[in-house]
Amino acid sequence: MLKLLADENIPRKISIILRELGIDIIRLQDLGIRGISDRELINIANQHNKTILTRDSDFITSSLLSLAKNGVIYISHINPQEMKF
């Protein structure tokens, strides 16, 4: 089962939708945590045995990826108005 820790940059609505789909997800804000470093986020995810869900491109670097024992899901933002069909 997929277990996620949502970085504070993930909109609450996304967390709600994922929860409704049966995904085990917790937000940093649910833990009362804000404004922590990337490494602190990784430590929390590792302690809770969760994959990090983030929009922070720092997490696609190998130095941070290698520390996240359950991996990282990085969501890049694309403005729908900029998409070409």
- Domain positions in the chain: 13-54+70-76
Find out whether 8 and 28 touch, Cβ atoms under 8 Å: yes
Q: Alpha-carbon distance 73 to 51, whole Å?
A: 7
Supply the pTM of this predicted model.
0.87
Give whole-number Cα distances, 17 to 12, 13, 31, 82, in Å: 9, 6, 19, 25
List the chain pLDDT tens, one digit each, 85 residues.
899 999 999 999 999 999 999 999 999 999 999 999 999 999 999 999 999 999 999 999 998 989 999 999 999 876 666 545 4
